[in-house]
Structure 1
Amino acid sequence: MRRRVDEAVDQLAELAATTSRRDDGGWHTAELSVAVVLDQGQPEVLERYQVVVDQDGVDQLEFAAVFPVRRRDVDVHLLYGGTLQDRGGADRLGFTLVPAEPLVRGETHDFAVRYRLSNRDVMHPCVLHVPERPCEVFDLRLRFEHDRKRLVRTFDGVMQRSDTEPKGNQHAVDRAGEIHLRFRRLLPGLLYGARWGESAVCLARRAS
């Protein structure tokens, strides 16, 4: 019975992914790879995007960082892929990526952004991605200080509700202090990612 329910959920997810609107902004995410390094004085986050263009003439890509931090506490650097324009507020990192040339239908485009936080205290204990458009793969790597007893709560396509704590799974880090998560066929509006501690900011981000 459980297996059949899981199969039905997978089929619904696949159907929703293939029928979701892809003309909103003219592109969707093929893969988002995020690496979070927390074993040093200044935490770093690397986000690498590969997007697929769904219509001709796409000249900008809007996206937001997958972790909460105040703008004044982080240094943002575009590694490659175009020109970066800041469109976020003081408490949200939102950007517009402008490619060197307008993109055409069927083309793939890669870009990467590095975030360097000022110190450990400004890094809230979560990476929570709620995609605004379909995403085929979300690859997440977290590196902590050597702490084999650390547990990480993960969320894979969780429905968000402000009145209850979302259900997640507990995972232990490996002997190197790392954990590697890979989510597939992400649906807009659902919650994906990890949380490794309590934080009002993380809960508010999850609820939003």
Structure 2
Amino acid sequence: MSATDLVGELKLLRKGRGISVVALGPRVGPAMRAAFGIADADDVAEIRRKLSESLVTLSASLPEDLRTAALAAFGLHDQAKHPFLQARVSWVARALDRDERTARRRIDEGIERIAELAVSVQAGLLEPAYPSRSWHTEELRVALALDQRVPEAFEFRRVVADADDIAELDLALTLTNARKRRETVGENDLQVDVFYGGTLAETVMESSERFGLMLHLPKPLRRDARHDIALRFRAVFRHPHYVCVPRHRVDLFDLHVKFPPSLPGTIVKLENVFQDDARDPAAGGEALTPDGSGEVHVQFRGLAPGFAYGVRWEPAGVS
């Protein structure tokens, strides 16, 4: 696989509806299959998923203008879902405050850089942004229900072994106290159920707020093996936020939050903030508006270990 071959196939992919084209299979040539791990047995939905996640991940390291241009060209930018490439080019021109000829050049440059990065990854010349010696999370999908008597979080996680003989996962959950009310958090304040994927070996208090969870796997994982787990957490929230603060690399974090009928006054998206800032109203973020069902949905990619990603809310009337 060469970068030139991959560029040619990616330029074909961007035509028409881009990544959303119905007949996606015929546009996926051998270079894209090799670069993005697409197997002959993959159906259209799986091909679309692999392409989308790979292109978004690779473009994350590009300069902002090239990233915006490339994602829009493929129809992967939230604000550029137009059915025709020309309409997406026009959007890029407006977004970058450039003419359309310059917008096309930015798109081409973005595609060329993505191809170079993909070839480097395949050749082993490019290390992950946050390499791990044990395991990392490929996908973390959480559904948080705040409209229950006791809030519940359903967590579906796919992990990847970065070494041989990974037999357990070290997880953690923090019940953050409010700054003005330093209640004591005890083991009975958190309920954990394992639906599938392992056995909860122990729950220990690692600090006054943080629970350490050790999950034993059904069998040890070999390097590059994938494994799915599903957990449910139930706890009373002491502070109005829910964030992921990864210990290990996380490639994708997808969060749905369902609020009770009495909606919060403000809801903000928190991304790459210090953990202590997650509970600080002075730490700003993108404002979110619940949909007709009282829900918000946010997604993060390439999470940096030790930083917080998620949602914070404040009751109505609180500034």
TM-score by length of 1: 0.77
User: Aligned letter for 2:234?
Assistant: R
Following the alignment from structure 1 to structure 2, what is the Cα–Cα distance between the partners of residues 149 and 125? Answer: 10
- Tell me which of 286, 292, 302 is aligned to 1:185: 302
User: Aligned letter for 2:269?
Assistant: T
Partner of 1:46: 154
Following the alignment from structure 2 to structure 1, what is the Cα–Cα distance between the partners of residues 272 and 157? Answer: 20
Give 1 or 2: higher helix fraction. 2
Identity of aligned residues (%): 33
User: Aligned letter for 1:83?
Assistant: T
TM-score by length of 2: 0.52
- Tell me which of 262, 270, 273 is aligned to 1:158: 273
Deviations 1:93-127 (A, max 9, x none): 2211111111111110111111223xx5x453111
User: Aligned letter for 1:80?
Assistant: Y
Q: Determine helix, strand or coil for the equivalent of 2:254.
A: strand
- Tell me which of 190, 209, 212 is aligned to 1:94: 212
RMSD: 3.1
Moved beyond 6 Å, runs of 4+: 8-11, 14-17
CA positional deviation for 1:154: 1.1
Following the alignment from structure 1 to structure 2, what is the Cα–Cα distance between the partners of residues 72 and 138? Answer: 27
Further displaced range: 184-193 or 139-148: 139-148
User: Aligned letter for 2:222?
Assistant: V
Q: Does 2:146 correspond to 1:146?
A: no
Partner of 1:205: none
- Tell me which of 103, 107, 131 is aligned to 1:21: 131
Q: Does 2:240 correspond to 1:125?
A: yes
Pairs aligned (count): 187
Partner of 2:64: 6
Give 1 or 2: higher strand fraction. 1
Partner of 1:173: 290
Q: Determine helix, strand or coil for the equivalent of 1:179.
A: strand
Contact 2:174 2:209 in 1 (8 A): no
Go from structure 1 to structure 2 and tell me whether the alpha carbon gap of 1:167 and 1:149 turns closer, same or farther (over 3 Å shift).
Answer: closer
Go from structure 1 to structure 2 and tell me whether the alpha carbon gap of 1:138 and 1:67 turns closer, same or farther (over 3 Å shift).
Answer: farther
Following the alignment from structure 2 to structure 1, what is the Cα–Cα distance between the partners of residues 127 and 244? Answer: 16
User: Aligned letter for 2:156?
Assistant: R
**Structure 1: stretches of 5+ with no match in the other structure:** 199-208
- Tell me which of 109, 115, 126 is aligned to 2:227: 109
Following the alignment from structure 1 to structure 2, what is the Cα–Cα distance between the partners of residues 46 and 123? Answer: 19
User: Aligned letter for 1:64?
Assistant: A
CA positional deviation for 1:45: 1.1
Partner of 2:114: none
Q: Does 2:226 correspond to 1:79?
A: no
Contact 1:137 1:183 in 2 (8 A): yes
Following the alignment from structure 1 to structure 2, what is the Cα–Cα distance between the partners of residues 40 and 17? Answer: 43
Go from structure 1 to structure 2 and tell me whether the alpha carbon gap of 1:148 and 1:174 turns closer, same or farther (over 3 Å shift).
Answer: farther
